[in-house]
A and B are shown apart, each in its own frame.
Chain A
Amino acid sequence: MNTDRQTRDNLWTLITPPTVWALHFLVSYVLAAYACAPNVQVFETIGGARIAIAGVTLVALILIGAVFRRALHEWRTEGGSGFHNDEDSGAGRERFLEFSTVLLAALSFVSVLFVALPVLINADCR
């Protein structure tokens, strides 16, 4: 088993995808809030902020996608078929963390898409 070239998973790698989601959420919210502040001219369009959020969304999706690919690949090459990750070994723990990271990355990916949707339909600050 070749574990040298693999990432050694830990709790930080596990929470990387949802952390990216959180940062994406925060940046999107701040960009929109800043563009609309002080919330007086509500009919003025905020094209710049929407494009910026689209860019941030793309970056977030690429990052989460990369984590997803990495974790899925490592999980598979370690024989991670089936769903038994209760083995009492370093490799068992590694497989568990990789598979959980895959799941969290999938959730985070979908959630980033969810959060980006309002940008498609809201053109101003109403």
Chain B
Amino acid sequence: MSETAFGRPGVTGATHQDQEDEAVRRAQEERLIEVWKAPKGWRYWSAVNNTEVGIWYTATAFAFLLFAGVLGLMIRVQLAIPDNDFLSASFYNQVYTLHGTVMMFLFAVPIFEAVAIVILPQMLGARDLPFPRLSAFGYWCFLIGGVFVTGSIFFDAAPASGWFMYPPLTTQERFTPGYGPDIWLLGLSFIEVASIAAAVELIVGTLKCRPPGMRLNLMPLYAWYVLVVAGMILFAFPPLIAGDILFELERLFGWPFFDPERGGDPMLWQHLFWIFGHPEVYIVFLPAIALLAMIVPTFARRPILGYSWIVLAAVGTGFLSFGLWVHHMFTTGLPAISLGFFSAASEAVAIPTGVQIFVFLATLLTGRVIYRVPMLFVSGALAIFVLGGLTGVMVALAPFDWQAHDTYFVVGHLHYVLIGGMLFPVVAGIYYFWPMLSGRKLSDGLGKIAFWLMFVGFNVAFLPMHWSGLMGMPRRIWTYPAELRLEIPNLISSVGAFVFAAGFLVVVFDVLRPSRHLPRAERNVWNAGTLEWLAETEDKGWGVRSIPLVTTRYPLWEQPNFMEDVDMGRFYMPDAEEMQRETMVTGVLDATPEQCLRVPGPTFMTMWAAIFLGAVFIFATFHWWLATIAAMVLATAAILVWLWRGTAIIPEKPDKDVGRGLTLPLYLSGPKSVGWWAMFITMVGDGTAFLSLVFGYFFFFTIHENFPPAGVEGPGLVWPLIALALFAGGWIAARLALRINRAGSVGMARALMGGGAMLALGGGAALVWAPYVTGLDPVTHVYPATVWVLVIWTAVHGAVGALMLGYCLARSLAGRLTPVYDIDIANVALYWHFLAATALITVATIALFPLAV
């Protein structure tokens, strides 16, 4: 690798400025502060910078945690004594359902995204993540969806069937009247949009926004975990979205996907839910362990021992966790051989999980450990998590699980795993990172009190649940008679729960108490080695003064004079000459500088897009169809305005001097641009959802003697093939438009964009026409319903493809898309690869596959 990829050694600052001149530096600092400052007054809420959005995100997630914690305490009050009627049975159902749902969907997963949005850019020495507006959009989606779901309990309308919503209990009006399941499904589908948005942002951020020189082997371990977890979200959440679509179609329109009387099967929901649900446990757990991987070396005063082993553990767990889902379904009567596969994989996942625990222990044993409050919580986390892991190995054995399934033993197990593996590390992270965020340390004394209350309270609350579970107490039970001798373990649990809650309230108090009179913490207060500790105690908004050149894993420990060089702006991009927000894009393997990326600033458009999209889901819940359609149009318009104004902006000059003798382009398109990566990653997630629907088709094929059922005519061959030909035409047009535009024939390219859009619409119409003209009625049987759902999915994607080409055409006509500056059409052409594959698979499944069998 040539040295010039990183600029010229010895040169500091831009070539036309003297970086060592203090006046120059002060002018640079003023410009940077001006460019990166958060908006004032009510416009503050238009901020998109990672520090603002990340803090909102974290605070909101904690608010939901406290809400769900109160629900948890209500459960414990209800169960404290036998034959209690503190809560009515039906309200109790709402309480435990929301407790689980909120903890998992509104705290555990979002807190990962929230914390990562705050600290990842700092850790990577980046000014911001590549798509700040996408983060803001995700946040607003999360807030709206979360308030919608949690608010339902105040109207006695909350979902009441457990956090995994098993049909037929939830699909049939006679069992679950009202809107509860719809609120659950639509509210959470909407939040899943936010999760996938965050995943896209974090993957691109980790791969493309590392500081120059931070090769893969020098990345902070936190970044490795973020990469793995964001990748998991991409494959775990879409199956649930697919499941939600089927579920809502059954609830709203009576399409019988889960109704055995009309050929459906409730097992399909269980599969789709747990293909999501089990990886989710690791999506929750790994980012928390990632915090430990940052905290442990700091307090052991040494680099982590066994960096590669942690990478093994993160990647290995990420994969294995997708082979565990049926261990939630051991009692559903699947063949023993199938259970065996999942039982074996569930045991195997203990290997990488154990490896990371041993890496932490080895690092601590070989270091000189300083015991501070964050380390207390780390030790507590490890102790509790190991216990939860051991009971996990027990319930992974099918015969044991048959005894313990749906008892309080499982409740005890899952709380040990989640609180030990997630909540304790997150609290450790709060104590550790708080000085970086607020400039002040949290109280050591209060921290110790909080820890001991939480640690003791937790064990007192949840250890007896193993006992009551083995005595036969079922989970989710409303109350129990005194004769069962369950009152002692339950009373102990309830007392422990309140002690635990008291400990957590101490943490909350410590965070919220006024602290302006307290002295500021010194910079890098724990004497850590990684880049996030460059942060100054008085936040300047710019992230880092200059983007550093990294050559070690712990630059603050191992690179001489590092902090001073950063502060003096001797590294890259010490200035904001054009008064634009900028960050650096680098290569995936070795982080060689590739681009100076202009990132967009504050806007309300993301909030409007989230509000309108939220309205779509909320109106659909209450079957207000006209309002739903209107909101859909508005949401699309908001997103288009956001894209039109804020993306693929043509810069005033092709490149700029970023300092150290390095000149970088301001605009890149195709595989080198971050937008292309975002499209690719989004479409991988989208493709996973589509394949989950296809899985549904073949699932029904395997469980039925005849599928399609005898005497039912399928969608025929003619119209599906016409549709496929039209989609293929659209695909060719989109690909050619990219090439021809790049070659300079703008007029021809415009014609192809317009023509491609028409072909896409035609293809979608032909595809929908096929089952319509053969009279397939989706209400009668699961076969036509499955065909219809695939057809509609593909047609909607065709319409989106048409819209995208139309957008490119408009951009071209407006002079915002040129042969040189062609991000839009490059990304749309990439989308069309996925669309063409979707059309091909749909037609092959619904029209060709029945002929082959």
Contact of B344 among A33, A96, A118 (CB under 8 A): A118
Query: Contact mask A11-54 → B, CB, 8 Å, 1/0?
Result: 10011001101100100110011101111001000100000000
Contact of A22 among B307, B319, B552, B553 (CB under 8 A): B319
Provide the bound-state CA to CA distance between A14 and B352, in Å. 16
A77 at the interface (CB under 8 A from B): no
Cβ contact within 8 Å between B320 and A111: yes
Provide the bound-state CA to CA distance between A39 and B337, in Å. 12
Contact flag A88-B551 (CB < 8 Å), given A110-B351, A114-B348:
yes
Chain A contact patch, size range: 35 or more
Closest to B337 in A: A122
Cβ contact within 8 Å between B341 and A28: yes
Cβ contact within 8 Å between B702 and A33: yes
Chain B nearest Cβ from A51, distance in angstroms: 13
B311 at the interface (CB under 8 A from A): yes
Highest count of chain B CB atoms <10 Å: which of A22, A114, A117, A121 = A114
Binds A, one of B88-96, B209-217, B413-421, B487-495: B209-217
A104: chain B residues at CB < 8 Å are 312, 315-316
B754 at the interface (CB under 8 A from A): no
Cβ contact within 8 Å between B217 and A107: no
Query: Contact mask A79-122 → B, CB, 8 Å, 1/0?
Result: 00001011110101101110110011001101100110111011
B338 at the interface (CB under 8 A from A): yes
A69 at the interface (CB under 8 A from B): no
A115: chain B residues at CB < 8 Å are 323, 341, 344-345, 348
Contact of A34 among B1, B315, B318, B702 (CB under 8 A): B702
A7 at the interface (CB under 8 A from B): no
Cβ contact within 8 Å between A25 and B316: no
Provide the bound-state CA to CA distance between A25 and B319, in Å. 11
Provide the bound-state CA to CA distance between A33 and B334, in Å. 9
Count chain B residues whose beta carbon lies closer than 8 angstroms to a beta carbon of A: 46
Contact of B340 among A15, A103, A111, A118 (CB under 8 A): A118
Contact of B315 among A18, A87, A114 (CB under 8 A): A18
Cβ contact within 8 Å between B308 and A103: yes
B303: chain A residues at CB < 8 Å are 86
A76 at the interface (CB under 8 A from B): no
Cβ contact within 8 Å between A38 and B705: yes
Cβ contact within 8 Å between A93 and B552: no
B704: chain A residues at CB < 8 Å are 38
Query: Contact mask B317-354 → A, CB, 8 Å, 1/0?
Result: 01110110000000001111111110111011001100
Contact flag A125-B337 (CB < 8 Å), given A18-B319, A104-B315:
yes
Provide the bound-state CA to CA distance between A40 and B845, in Å. 26
Provide the bound-state CA to CA distance between A25 and B320, in Å. 10
Provide the bound-state CA to CA distance between A19 and B216, in Å. 20
The 9 residue pairs across chains A and B that have the minimum distance between CB atoms: A118-B340, A96-B217, A18-B319, A122-B337, A103-B312, A37-B702, A88-B551, A114-B344, A125-B335
Can you list 27 A-B pairs, Cβ within 8 angstroms, ordered by A?
A10-B588, A14-B315, A15-B319, A18-B315, A19-B319, A25-B341, A36-B337, A37-B702, A38-B702, A46-B337, A83-B306, A83-B308, A85-B308, A86-B303, A93-B590, A103-B309, A103-B311, A107-B312, A107-B316, A111-B320, A111-B348, A114-B344, A114-B347, A115-B345, A115-B348, A118-B340, A125-B335
